[in-house]
Amino acid sequence: MKKILISGYHGLGNCGDEAILAAIVNNLRKADPDIKIVALSRTPSETREKFRVKSVNRFNVFSIIYEMLSCNLVLSGGGSLLQDVTSSRSLYYYLGIIVMARLLGRPVMVYANGIGPVRKRLNRFFTRLVLNRVSFITLRDKDSFRELYEMGVKRPQVLVSADPVFTMEAVSEVQAEQILRNENIELQRPLIGISLRPWKNSSAWLRKISLLADRLIDHFDCNILFLPMHIPNDAVVIEQVRALMQKPSFAIQGSYSGEEMMGIIGHTRVIISMRLHTLIFAAVQRVPMIGLVYDPKVRSFLDAVGQPVAGDIDSLDVDELFNILQEMLDNYEEMVQTLDEQAVRLKEKAHINDQMVMQLLKY
């Protein structure tokens, strides 16, 4: 029986990262129903219950070493683990897990990662040093490939795949509709979904989002549905926007799985989002989207699926964003067709990740 240890941003309430783990676990079990999986998590008991895997605390060094000694492969990812925008401490944690595995003689695969930005010179040096010693790397976008090349990571084979969430399936329309009804969301009018996250200079762009939301309600006779992906962080920002609005709006209050949130998004007409995995959920559900860029990964993804970017969140132009949305609705079927073609392509590429895992395990 093969055993895999997975390192990632698990057990911290981020719907996107939890969806990544769900997709990885599901795909590995499809490839090998008997495979043993251990996930590092901030809340191991919750991770065990949700994903039916063994889980240990991500900061318990002795437990991590114990599990590594009996595993066949360590996966680092997916997600944006190797970056120093959040903090250098986060980068060093994930690099440290890789170093620990290599010191114990365990092979490591960097799995469907989005790399960077890694801005500090010393951080780029250590990232290159560590990644040149892993067995294989798959990346979710071409920009990450370019970042690794510029960093000098050239020893392991590197393939561009796609985010594993593209292999997920949403809950049924009936289940998603029941969630919306339980949340007291009005469904008589079209829903436009908005997904935000905490970011710098918030007083300026939060006001602009509130103005946009009010304008959309007036012009399109729609309801605005705010979608928190990381609770409670996103919910705080959302409530600030809602307090600035003149019109009533709706917001998801509960905490939901990736499959459930994907189903909720399937009931929207358009998604406007800062959050990458809100956009990925929308792509899987063939819901046209507009990105608000706070990180290069958002622009990179939108380019890959042929959907528009409304510019950087720090320099957001409400009129421009409104015009983009108007054009999108005017060409809605064409946008859906483009999205469908790209989503099918990316789902196929996402399976590269698991094919490489099986190859490393020598099935």
Q: What is the predicted pLDDT for the residue at 363?
A: 64
Helix then strand then coil, in percent of the chain rounded to 5, is 50, 15, 30
| Angle (nearest 5°) at CA 347 between 341 and 351 | 150
pTM given for the model: 0.97
Closest CA to 113 of 132, 88, 141: 141
Beta strand 250-251 pairing with 270-273: unpaired
| Alpha helices (runs of H) in 186-255, residue ranges in sequence order | 202-220, 233-244
Give the tokens for residue 316. 């957001």
User: So what's the pLDDT on residue 288?
Assistant: 98
Question: Mean pLDDT in runs of 10 for the chain (363 residues)?
Answer: 98 97 98 98 98 98 98 96 93 98 98 96 98 98 95 95 98 98 97 96 91 98 98 96 98 98 99 98 99 94 95 94 96 97 98 97 82
- Tokens for 187, please give them: 């469904």
Which residue in the block uniquely carries the two structure tokens 């997916």?
A: 78
Which pLDDT does position 189 carry in this prediction? Answer: 98
Task: Tell me the domains of the chain and their CATH numbers.
Answer: 3-160 (3.40.50.2000), 173-345 (3.40.50.2000)
